[in-house]
Amino acid sequence: MRVLILTLGTRGDIQPFLTLATELDRRGHTTVVAAPQRFSGLAATHGTTFAPLDDGPLRVLDHGSAVGDVATGGIRAKIDLMRRLPGMFHQVLDDCRRLASSGADLVVHNGQVIAGQHVAELLQVPAVLALPMPMYVPTAEFAWPGASFPEWLPPGLHRATYAGMKAPAMMFGRTVDRWRHDLGLPRRPGRHDPTRRPDGGPAPVLHAFSPAVIPRPSDWPDTAQVTGYWFPPAPAGEAESPPAGMRALLHGDEPVVFAGFGSMAGPEPAALTRVVVEALDRAGVRGIIAEAGGGLSRIPADRHLFVTGEVDHRTVFPRCAAVLHHGGAGTTAAVARAGRPQIICPFVGDQPFWAARMHHLGVAPPPVSLRDLTADRLATAVRDAISDPAYHVNAHLIGQRVRAENGTTAAADALERIAASTDRR
């Protein structure tokens, strides 16, 4: 089976697909992972075939202002970003067209790349939508994760909120239609809906999150599955040891909180860093400050703080008293696996959804949004996360369930079944 994987986004949108490709390769299939070129180094560590895509809309993360303005409610910045985004996809789409010329028996895509179902239609093979969040399949059990909705919203209105997924078709429809015309594809109904096949039937959807975190909604169709997280396998031998300074903090007598905002780059990283450091100081804890994504800035380390870039989540998170982060799907999954309490300051997108979900599960205090972030509020959340035994018990139980799952195996099994069913037809 030849599998073409198309994915776009930040590291949390790329890493799971590299893990899936590794498992498919192990089973004797041939996979190509097409993702933003900035992740070529990450792909090299997995040993799978990688095809670089243009970075496209990821460039707005490199400067931080767009993300920061959207997160703090700048209407003009949001409108400006919506106008700019379609033009950022031209090269991405052309790169996907180039990859289609090599053929495939199955196309797996995450929706954000906006080319997946169209490439599959061109090749006349199944398209499988796969993503680490429940964004596309409506349910009455919770509102659409792509925006913040009030908790008092009646369940009867939850399904209606998924109309938010029509926004990509409205924003990128003309760009994609021109590209489809160049490919010789018709303007058929439902062409912009990745949950529908070209014949109008439901397309398979794989959700790469744990049922311990989000149980599979009872009103989902059979074509929508929850596989569990797609974590890379633990390395053989002993776990990677943290740097000496970090190790000294983690093995000390005082609690340590990891603080990092992943790929998010806010407009004022220095100011945000001051708030985080002051909050940790007021809470009476030591901190590991990860400034890799630009959300936090580099500061002088001292005996209470260790400043670092990217860290091995599997090694560091289980040794922390709690983890302060932005609520990205990948980081939320890593902390859930570690079984540690969470403090979440969501920036944009689905992050408020994950923050609310972790609070609902009893593993995190109420989220603190960037708009309301102060050292006092954050210090209170840190103290609550560390001192309330319920957060630790709940996080430990969820961590046990997550670690017992093998979502990558379940996803690979599902893809083989889809391919076999297609062959029979």
In whole angstroms, give the CA distance from residue 342 to residue 247: 21
In whole angstroms, give the CA distance from residue 296 to residue 308: 11
375-419: per-residue pLDDT in tens? 999 999 999 999 999 999 999 999 999 999 999 999 999 999 999
Q: Are strands 256-260 and 224-226 parallel, antiparallel or unpaired?
A: unpaired
Q: Give the residue-averaged pLDDT of 359-387.
A: 95
Higher pLDDT residue, 149 or 234?
Answer: 149
Residue 72 has pLDDT above 60, yes or no: no
**C-beta neighbour count of 384 within 10 angstroms:** 17
pLDDT band at residue 300 using 50, 70 and 90 as cut-offs = confident
13-24: per-residue pLDDT in tens? 999 999 999 999
Residue 66 has pLDDT above 60, yes or no: no
In whole angstroms, give the CA distance from residue 59 to residue 65: 11
The tokens describing 158, both together, are 């939850």
127-181: per-residue pLDDT in tens? 999 999 999 999 999 999 998 888 889 999 999 999 988 888 888 999 999 999 9
Domains (range + CATH), the chain: 2-229+405-424 (3.40.50.2000), 244-404 (3.40.50.2000)
75-108: per-residue pLDDT in tens? 555 556 666 677 788 999 999 999 999 999 999 9
Higher pLDDT residue, 56 or 194?
Answer: 194
In whole angstroms, give the CA distance from residue 379 to residue 377: 6
In the block, tokens 């080319």 appear at 115
109, 108, 93: which is closest to 177 by C-alpha?
A: 93
pTM value is: 0.90
pLDDT for 81 equals: 62
Q: Give the residue-averaged pLDDT of 191-207.
A: 96
pLDDT for 12 equals: 84
pLDDT for 282 equals: 95
In whole angstroms, give the CA distance from residue 55 to residue 388: 42
The tokens describing 18, both together, are 């590299």
